[in-house]
């Protein structure tokens, strides 16, 4: 627990250092009379998460040493991954802890419409705490939470579980007056 707290604090500090660099770069462009210029950059280590190596951290049925993109030790420095390639403004919009509007729980707390949250019990991209935070953020009673046992993030080689997810969505839509 102590290691994980230190690790998460270091991740947050790194995110804020990148955000400070992005804001400085945007200010420099503005001062140079180029306020609409953009700049692309690569962020390494975006899949560095202890959960992918140790399934006891935020446990579910996922396999150890695997994430939805493959071996996390390889993916962590490969040319793919979340936020791997970013631009100044896309970083602020999507990834900055303090500036992004992409905050699922915060946004869901304002949603007035019915909400369906599906958690896959072997998800190797979104851990159960993420699904639970989304569900618990909904501030009204017209919300449902379903878990699909054994399902991974993209239902790869799991057509029956993908069909189960589609069935849950179909039933939920029909229960809310939509015709499929």
Query: Highest mean pLDDT range out of 63-72, 80-89, 169-178?
Result: 169-178
pLDDT at residue 21 above 90? yes
Residue 12, pLDDT score: 97
Please name every residue paired with 36 in a beta bridge, in sequence order, or none if there are none: none
* Average pLDDT of the segment spanning 63-69: 88
pTM: 0.84
pLDDT digits (tens, 9 = 90+) for 96-152: 999 998 889 999 999 999 999 999 999 999 999 999 999 999 999 999 999 999 999
* Average pLDDT of the segment spanning 51-79: 88
Residue 7, pLDDT score: 96
**Cβ neighbours for 114, distance < 8 A, ≥ 6 positions apart:** 142, 143, 144, 172, 176
H or E segment and range at residue 23 = helix 2-31
Residue 134, pLDDT score: 97
Residue 44, pLDDT score: 87
């Amino acid at each position: 627990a102590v290691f994980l707290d230190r690790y998460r604090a270091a991740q947050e500090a790194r995110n804020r250092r990148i955000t400070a660099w992005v804001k400085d770069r945007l200010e420099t462009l503005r001062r140079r009379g180029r306020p609409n210029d953009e700049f692309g950059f690569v962020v390494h280590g975006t899949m560095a998460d202890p959960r992918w190596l140790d399934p006891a951290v935020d446990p579910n049925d996922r396999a150890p040493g695997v994430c939805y993109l493959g071996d996390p030790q390889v993916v962590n420095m490969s040319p793919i991954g979340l936020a791997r390639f970013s631009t100044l403004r896309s970083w602020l919009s999507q990834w900055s802890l303090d500036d992004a509007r992409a905050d699922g729980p915060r946004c869901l707390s304002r949603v007035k419409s019915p909400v369906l949250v599906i958690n896959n019990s072997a998800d190797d991209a979104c851990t159960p705490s993420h699904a639970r935070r989304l569900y618990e953020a909904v501030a009204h009673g017209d919300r449902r939470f379903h878990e699909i046992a054994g399902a991974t993030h993209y239902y790869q080689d799991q057509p029956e579980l993908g069909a189960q997810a589609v069935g849950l969505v179909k039933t939920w839509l029909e229960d809310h007056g939509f015709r499929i």
